[in-house]
Amino acid sequence: MSGEDEATPEAIWLLALDASTPRCVIALGRVDAHGPGLPELVVEDDEDDGANQASSRLLPRVERALASASIDAGHLAAIACGRGPGTFTGTRVAVASAKGLAYGVGRPVVPVSTLAAVAASAGIEGDVLAILDARRDEVYGARLWCEGMTGPGPARIEARGDERVAPLAVLLEDLPATTRVVGSGVEPYRDLLASAGRADAAVALVGPTAAGLWAAATAAWARGEAVHPAALDAVYLRASYAEMGINAPKRRFVKSPFV
């Protein structure tokens, strides 16, 4: 029996992907056609790659996920995509892949904050500060409210303010004592978190898990955030090294007379 036959008439397929961190993840499952309802995660694919090359294998892994569920891309109702912030290359790959899939099957996309997916990956109820190491002594960060992380229904994951890139000390200012800190920014700043009395409750994560991405994607789907593929944009929060001219050649380019 195919995956389509097994689904109820009200259930539709949702594919979610994120490559904004070294943990490139894919989640595939069923959601209610009308928004809220019981989401069912069918396929989880988590892949860590310290060399940040996991995003280069994204589309073959999508194909394997679809095959595991005995469906093809035409069965998808929407494609959810982690739109950053995170690594510039990985985010671009994910956004381009999601757009290509969505245009190919004529379906909408669901933009998902990578920070929301990270917050959901910790499985924590309540106030969460999700942080990703942004280098240059800064982190990408966002406060989110997470609810229903262990229940049978869709999770509620809502932003409590804007996403920012800033020194972690700035993000910790006036943060309630009950707020848990999670993400890849935890380990590099363990001493700072300890001095702020938050290290013991902090959760270090390389990036979102497939289950965390699924929770954030289905929460966004339930809020009705599906859009036309053209509306999906990567979120970087700051300019790249190239845009800032940091990697500009130190010497004037001179064309070789031999070529």
Whole-model pTM: value is 0.87
The per-residue pLDDT for range 198-232, each reduced to its tens digit, is 999 999 999 999 999 999 999 999 999 999 999 99
Q: What length is written for the chain?
A: 259
> Number of C-alpha atoms within 13 angstroms, CB side, residue 196?
24
pLDDT value for 102: 97
How many contiguous H segments (helices) and E segments (strands) does the chain have? 8, 11
pLDDT value for 249: 44
pLDDT value for 10: 56
Above pLDDT 90, what percent of the chain? 77
CA distances from 139 to 27, 167, 174 (A): 26, 6, 17
pLDDT value for 241: 52
pLDDT value for 54: 55
Q: If the chain, 259 residues long, is cut into consecutive pieces of 10 residues, what is the mean pLDDT of each piece?
A: 42 94 95 75 84 70 96 96 96 96 97 98 96 97 94 86 97 96 98 97 97 96 95 90 50 39
Planar angle of CA 131, 28, 33, nearest 5 degrees: 105
pLDDT value for 14: 97
pLDDT value for 47: 79
pLDDT value for 37: 63
Domains in the chain with CATH codes = 3-239 (3.30.420.40)
